[in-house]
Amino acid sequence: MRSPNRRDFLQDTAALTASLATIPAAARGVENDKEAETKPAGPNEVLRVAVCGVRGRGMEHIQGWGNLKKDARITTICDIDLNVTDKAKKAVARRWGAEPNVVQDIRRVVEDKSIDVISIATPNHWHALATIWACQNGKDVYVEKPVSHNVSEGRRMVEAARKYDKIVQTGTQCRSSKGIQDAIAFLRSGKLGQIYMAKGLCYKRRDSIGHQADAPVPSGVDYDIWLGPAPQQPFNPNRFHYNWHWYWDFGNGDLGNQGIHQMDLARWGLGKTELPRTVMASGGRFGYSDQGQTPNTLSVAFEFDDCELQFEVRGLATNGEADVTIGDIFYGTEGILAITSYESWQVFYGRKLARGGYKLEKGPSGSGGCDHFANFVKAVRARDCKLLNADIEQGHLSSAYCHLGNIAYRLGRKLHINPSTESFVNDSEADAMLTREYRRPYVVPAKV
């Protein structure tokens, strides 16, 4: 697949120069600079890991790396909020017998030559810049979903991984689940006939976030770094920890939060390796009176030449479909396959849709019967991105589907897409939403 046309994505030279000035020589491509040299761990050495973002999902990263004690050691934790680092620091000390370094500024982490792997669990708007900087500085990356805040960022992340020959795993851990792998293999077997539609469901109850006034930045928080690429704005506790998901400047709503897992499975099951031809969406933020911006009720439809992908987000009281509330349903000419969790699925056959009885036992609690971190380490050891279950290219495509759905919702009309350029067809208004204006100096480079 060719890289998208950058005409509409290019930032002014001053912004790009300012961004590059904030990162070390290795990231700027300086040759013959001893300060830019790195000495990565050898194939049999313990990988030195930095976990960036440790309040929520980052704590699960610490647990995941802790399960690989013989292969990896967390030496650094990074978070802009020093009020949340103590729990993470203690968890690392319990597992490895020594406390990690604690850093607030991720730029100091990517330039640290002693670190081999950056494990990213920051808010969405930081995923791309952190990953690109890490690749430019010789680090492999495990980055949470969605990998990007917008479509253009995701493609640039892929380009960075390839240019610098780095291993970049997407945090869509369902791809490492044996149960899910078996379900996809069943779809490929042809037993359900032609798969003509996939439907992703994100029926996850979400409460209203209410209203809160702007406030002083809490002690111990580096708010400038937290804002990063996003526009300058006053601190508000309702836009901070976790609730940032529901604001366009930082998050992507539940379509790009929980829904990215189900979107990834829907696309995987359909075998689609590029963007769709069209997208349309409708919905709203119903039943709430609060400061959130993203929809809690959303229907999205993607069209291909031979099938359709539908997706629904419902954050209020609702019923499931085919025993699914958070999962996927695949419709074939001979029956239906429903993925009901991270590790279980079932089949319904024929006109009466009798149950096929395909249901797997659950794996270890919270793991989906998989170890996505172990898969990443295997690829890092072999220096082979093809061993990844969720390579950054797959993460980019599935994240892009979520971004496209949000763009269609925000514009309120059907959009036509050119998959080869990853842009819209004769639609400058929609194209503008494939990227963003970056706040200096936190500029995602137009060319890596």
User: Do the beta carbons of residue 360 and residue 352 sit within 8 Å?
Assistant: no
| pLDDT interval class at 39 (50, 70, 90) | low
pLDDT at 116: 98
> Given a cut of 90, is residue 28 above it in pLDDT?
no
How is domain 13-174+370-392 classified at the architecture level of CATH?
A: 3-Layer(aba) Sandwich (3.40)
pLDDT at 341: 83
* Strand-strand pairing, 335-339 and 326-332: antiparallel
pLDDT at 42: 66
pLDDT at 343: 78
pLDDT 10s digits, 55-74: 999 999 999 999 998 999 99
Q: What mean pLDDT do residues 193-216 have?
A: 98
pLDDT at 365: 34
pLDDT at 428: 98
| pLDDT interval class at 358 (50, 70, 90) | low
pLDDT at 41: 74
Q: Which of these, 261, 259, 300, lies nearest to 280 by C-alpha position?
A: 300
Q: How far apart are the first and last CA of the chain?
A: 17
Q: What mean pLDDT do residues 308-337 have?
A: 96
> Given a cut of 60, is residue 38 above it in pLDDT?
no
Q: What mean pLDDT do residues 315-338 have?
A: 96
**What values do phi and psi take at 145, rounded to 5?**
-85, 155
User: Do the beta carbons of residue 141 and residue 120 sit within 8 Å?
Assistant: yes
Percentage of the chain surpassing pLDDT 70? 88
Helix residue ranges, H only, 151-287:
151-163, 178-188, 223-227, 259-270
In whole numbers, what is the pLDDT of the chain averaged over residues? 90
pLDDT at 356: 79
Percentage of the chain surpassing pLDDT 90? 83
pLDDT 10s digits, 213-232: 999 999 999 999 999 999 99
Around 223, how many Cα atoms within 13 Å sit in the side-chain half-sphere? 14
Tokens of 354: 């009798």
Q: What mean pLDDT do residues 398-409 have?
A: 98
Around 189, how many Cα atoms within 13 Å sit in the side-chain half-sphere? 11
Report CA-CA distances (Å) from 366 to 386, 389, 401, 416.
Answer: 26, 18, 26, 39
Q: Whole-angstrom Cα distance, residue 138 to residue 239?
A: 33
Q: Whole-angstrom Cα distance, residue 293 to residue 250?
A: 11
pLDDT at 106: 98
**What values do phi and psi take at 415, rounded to 5?**
-120, 140
Residues 6+ apart with CB under 8 A from 81: 55, 218, 220, 221, 222, 226, 241
pLDDT at 27: 41
The residue ranking higher by pLDDT, 24 or 40, is 40
pLDDT at 11: 41
pLDDT 10s digits, 126-170: 999 999 999 999 999 999 999 999 999 999 999 999 999 999 999
> Given a cut of 80, is residue 76 above it in pLDDT?
yes
Query: Which range has the worst mean pLDDT, 31-40, 126-135, 251-260, 397-406?
Result: 31-40
| pLDDT interval class at 342 (50, 70, 90) | confident
pLDDT at 5: 43
> Given a cut of 60, is residue 326 above it in pLDDT?
yes
Residue 139, SS3? coil
pLDDT at 423: 98
Tokens of 340: 């009901």
Q: Strand order of the sheet with strand 297-303?
A: 354-355, 345-349, 335-339, 326-332, 195-203, 308-314, 297-303, 278-284, 415-418, 423-424
Identify the H or E element spanning 303. Answer: strand 297-303
pLDDT at 26: 40
pLDDT 10s digits, 248-302: 999 999 999 999 999 999 999 999 999 999 999 999 999 999 999 999 999 999 9
Domain boundaries, given as residue ranges, for the chain? 13-174+370-392
